[in-house]
Amino acid sequence: MLVLSRKVNESIQIGDNVQITILETRKGNVRIGIAAPRDIQISRPEKAPKTLAPEVSTQEGPRENSKYSLSFGGSIS
């Protein structure tokens, strides 16, 4: 496991097309934003169902990049 320290508005790049940005930290929680192509599934392991169904989209056409915001308990040093 790679452990990194980041401050608010700093990012982590994963490969060529996934970027994670620290949006906010408060009261021991961290909010992150994830920019990734639509075909990359992003989920929280504690909320993921045992079997994953394909994502159904109501949007027309392909989506190049998307921003997701996840909130999780933890701390960044």
**Residues 31-42 pLDDT 10s:** 999 999 999 988
For 6-62, give the DSSP string.
--TT-EEEETTTEEEEEEEEETTEEEEEEEE-TTS----TTT--SSPPPP---SSS-
- For residue range 44-58, what is the model confidence (pLDDT) as tens digits? 888 766 655 565 555
pTM beyond 0.85, yes or no: no
